[in-house]
């Protein structure tokens, strides 16, 4: 099979069923001759040649979205090249190297690696991704020390994103996260402070949410009794006074508005006169 014969690849893909399950990896029935090399919650990936693989999606919208996200970054060296696209599949370059989850099991997080990670975040931003964040298992260290990433579907078409790379930091684990943050601080203390600030805000928000959820339920009977203090019509004197206040407030506001209108009209007329002259 010629590597880039998309029609041929489509014939193989037709023999593969991929089904989504919430919060679980896809379920795959593979009646094709292609070897499956990995899967996640959105799709399964099959080997075409040593250099090319195909990701088959359970949901065509996920395919559309990842295709769009990958297209945006094709001019960078961060993403696998796309070769062709079908309704529910994407043919792309094979990414080799070691993913950072595996790498960090035995190797330290050096300053050089932290610099590569910062460069990756900058490239994400330059590409125009809304979410510049990635789990360490989706980041692959290459032979020349540079990084490549897979699985960029979730970087685009998002309403809300965290304003700092939360997933990356969390995925590093506490020790490596602190070390990475120290490396960031050495490069740029402003960026360090901004991340620290957002993390602090997140902690406070979490705590406050917990406080509100666990707060003793308000005694609504008691509350209803106390709202009496806000009522004004029960006592005739107070009622009369309140009404008088209301009417006088309305009159004041309306007369102010009327004055402003007249002034505007006057100005309009004198401008017309001037223009005629
Ligand atoms: N371009 C590629 N080159 C080599 N292997 C790949 C490539 N793309 C994906 N894989 C392999 O297939 C697996 C699943 O791919 P991917 O993470 O893109 O799927 P996903 O369903 O989008 O995952 P998630 O559930 O995290 O969204 C990866 O963990 C990786 O092992
Ligand atoms: Mg994905």
Each residue of 211-259: pLDDT tens digit? 999 888 888 999 999 999 999 999 999 999 999 999 999 999 999 999 9
Q: Are residues 133 and 195 in the same domain?
A: yes
Name which residue sits closest to atom 28 of ligand 1, judged by CA.
38
Query: Residue ranges of the alpha helices (H) in the chain?
Result: 6-13, 60-72, 100-106, 111-127, 166-187, 189-214, 220-226, 236-276
Q: What is the pLDDT of residue 181?
A: 98
Name which residue sits closest to atom 9 of ligand 1, judged by CA.
45
Quickly state the pLDDT bin for 127 (edges 50, 70, 90): very high
First to last CA, the chain: 86
Instruction: Report the pocket of ligand 1 as residue ranges, CB < 6 Å.
Output: 37-43, 45, 53, 55, 80, 92, 94-95, 138, 150-151, 153
Say how many Å lie between the CA of residue 224 and the centre of ligand 2.
51
d(CA 53, CA 95): 9
Show the CA angle centred on residue 99, arms to residues 161 and 107, nearest 5°: 110
Q: Are residues 114 and 180 in the same domain?
A: yes
Which ligand 1 atom is the nearest neighbour of the CA of 26? 21
In the chain, pLDDT over 70 holds for what percent of residues?
A: 98
Instruction: Give the global pTM.
Output: 0.83
Q: What is the pLDDT of residue 218?
A: 87
Q: Please indicate, yes or no, if residue 277 is contained in any of the structural domains.
A: no
Domain that holds residue 181: 98-214
Query: Exposed, middle or buried by CB within 10 Å (0-12, 13-18, 19+), for 26?
Result: buried
d(CA 102, CA 111): 18
Q: In testing the pocket of ligand 1, which one of 55, 60, 78, 141 has its CB within 8 Å of the most ligand atoms? A: 55
Q: Please indicate, yes or no, if residue 242 is contained in any of the structural domains.
A: yes
Average model confidence (pLDDT) for the chain? 95
Q: Are residues 81 and 114 in the same domain?
A: no
Q: Please indicate, yes or no, if residue 112 is contained in any of the structural domains.
A: yes
d(CA 90, CA 97): 21
Name which residue sits closest to atom 8 of ligand 1, judged by CA.
150
Q: Please indicate, yes or no, if residue 32 is contained in any of the structural domains.
A: yes
Q: Are residues 34 and 127 in the same domain?
A: no
Query: Would you tell me how many other CB atoms lie within 10 Å of the CB of residue 270?
Result: 10
Q: Please indicate, yes or no, if residue 25 is contained in any of the structural domains.
A: yes
- Structurally, the chain folds into a number of domains equal to 3
Say how many Å lie between the CA of residue 149 and the centre of ligand 1.
10
Looking at 45, 73, 93, the residue that finishes a domain is 93
Q: Are residues 148 and 120 in the same domain?
A: yes
Q: Please indicate, yes or no, if residue 265 is contained in any of the structural domains.
A: no
Question: What are the tens digits of pLDDT across the range 195-215?
Answer: 999 999 999 999 999 999 988
d(CA 69, CA 181): 27
Q: Which residues, by Cβ under 5 Å, contact ligand 2, an ion?
A: 42, 151, 153
Which ligand 1 atom is the nearest neighbour of the CA of 66? 22
Q: Please indicate, yes or no, if residue 262 is contained in any of the structural domains.
A: no
In the chain, pLDDT over 90 holds for what percent of residues?
A: 90
Q: Are residues 123 and 39 in the same domain?
A: no
Name which residue sits closest to atom 22 of ligand 1, judged by CA.
42
Q: Are residues 112 and 189 in the same domain?
A: yes
Name which residue sits closest to atom 18 of ligand 1, judged by CA.
151
Where b means 16+ CB within 10 Å and e means fewer, 149-164 reads bbbbbbbbeeeeeeeb
DSSP single-letter state for residue 136: G
């Amino acid at each position: 099979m010629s590597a880039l014969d998309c029609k041929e690849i489509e014939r193989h893909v037709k023999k593969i069923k991929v089904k989504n399950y919430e919060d679980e990896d896809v379920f795959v029935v593979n009646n094709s001759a292609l070897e499956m090399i990995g899967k996640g919650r959105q799709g399964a990936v099959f080997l075409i040649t040593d250099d090319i693989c195909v990701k088959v999606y359970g949901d065509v919208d996920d395919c559309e979205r990842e295709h769009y996200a990958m297209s945006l970054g094709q001019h960078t060296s961060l993403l696998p090249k796309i070769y062709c696209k079908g309704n529910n599949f994407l043919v792309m370059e094979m990414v080799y190297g070691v993913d950072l989850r595996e790498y960090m099991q035995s190797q330290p997080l050096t300053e050089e690696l932290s610099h590569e990670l910062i460069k990756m975040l900058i490239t994400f931003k330059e590409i125009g991704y809304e979410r510049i964040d990635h789990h360490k298992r989706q980041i692959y260290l290459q032979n020349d020390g540079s990084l490549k990433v897979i699985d960029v579907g979730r970087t685009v078409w998002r309403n809300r994103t965290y304003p700092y790379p939360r997933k990356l930091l969390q995925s590093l684990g506490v020790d490596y996260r602190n070390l990475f943050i120290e490396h960031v601080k050495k490069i740029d203390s402003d960026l360090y402070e901004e991340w620290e600030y957002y993390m602090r805000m997140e902690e406070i928000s979490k705590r406050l949410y917990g406080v509100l959820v666990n707060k003793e339920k308000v005694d609504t009977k008691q509350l209803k009794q106390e709202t009496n203090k806000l009522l004004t019509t029960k006592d005739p004197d107070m009622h009369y006074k309140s009404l008088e206040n209301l009417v006088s407030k309305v009159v004041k506001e309306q007369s102010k508005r009327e004055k402003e209108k007249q002034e505007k009209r006057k100005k309009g007329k004198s401008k017309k006169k001037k223009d005629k002259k």
